[in-house]
């Protein structure tokens, strides 16, 4: 990404132009619906975004501030980050603050989303995007080692399906 940004700078692309392009890139299908649902139910869900996309792009697209990358020893993840480590540390920090979650809902698509999803418990739900690496890896693990992937697996094409799943869950609970 550094080389791409350097090249764009050499070509005279200004930061404002670059930012405008990033802001115009659409989110995954249904993602605005999911964010709207979560926003309306903010007292029931705590949201963390773990992404290895470059921070500039995420901040331009979603206007969020992201924490830094870290070092890790996970052999299944890229060198720049292990999402399982981030998720585990976050849950541990919240537990120290006396916040216990009934379950974790993990939404992802990339191969690097499989690592944290594989660590989820039977109470949790993993939402892999259909046809993407996280979905394929989860299916492969279920086939090779039945029961090894503990979380409920709910594949999606549009994040609207995730919002519907959560709505149904709230209806059953209510």
Neighbour order of strands in the sheet with 152-153:
105-108, 125-128, 152-153
What's the CA dihedral at 56, 58, 62, 64 to 10 degrees? Answer: -70
Cα separation of 144 and 94, whole Å? 34
Instruction: Find out whether 91 and 46 touch, Cβ atoms under 8 Å.
Output: no
Q: Which residues of the chain have pLDDT under 50?
A: 64-68
Which residue positions form the known binding site? Answer: 109
Which CATH code is given to the segment(s) 28-51+68-173?
3.40.50
Cα Dmax for the chain: 57
Count of CB atoms situated within 10 Å of the CB of 29:
14
Which residue positions form the known binding site for Mg(2+)? Answer: 109
Helix, strand counts (H, E) of the chain: 8, 3
Angle at 88 between CA 70 and CA 35, to 5 degrees: 90
pLDDT above 90 covers a percentage of the chain that reads 55
End-to-end CA gap in the chain: 46
Tokens 């890229």 belong to: 78
The whole-chain average pLDDT of the chain stands at 85
Q: What is the pLDDT of residue 68?
A: 46
Helix or strand holding residue 128 (H, E) = strand 125-128
Q: What is the pLDDT of residue 63?
A: 61
pLDDT tens digits, one per residue of 5-41: 678 778 887 778 877 877 788 888 999 999 999 999 9
Q: What is the pLDDT of residue 54?
A: 56
b/e map 73-99, b = 16+ CB within 10 Å? eeeebeeebbbbbbbeeeeeeeeeeee
């Amino acid at each position: 990404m550094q080389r791409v940004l350097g090249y764009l700078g050499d070509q005279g692309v200004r930061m404002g132009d670059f930012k405008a392009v990033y802001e115009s890139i659409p989110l995954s299908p249904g993602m605005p619906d999911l964010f709207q649902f979560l926003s309306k139910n903010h007292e029931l869900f705590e949201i963390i975004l773990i992404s290895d996309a470059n921070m500039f792009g995420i901040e331009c697209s979603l206007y969020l501030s992201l924490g830094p990358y870290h070092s890790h020893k996970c052999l299944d993840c890229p060198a720049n980050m292990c999402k399982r480590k981030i998720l585990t540390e976050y849950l541990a920090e919240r537990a120290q603050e006396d916040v216990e979650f009934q379950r974790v809902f993990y939404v992802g698509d990339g191969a690097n989303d499989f690592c944290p999803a594989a660590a989820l418990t039977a109470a949790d739900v993993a939402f892999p995007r259909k046809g993407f690496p996280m979905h394929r890896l989860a299916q492969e693990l279920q086939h090779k080692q039945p029961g090894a992937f503990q979380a409920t697996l709910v594949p999606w094409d549009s994040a609207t399906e995730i919002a519907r799943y959560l709505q149904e869950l709230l209806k059953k609970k209510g």
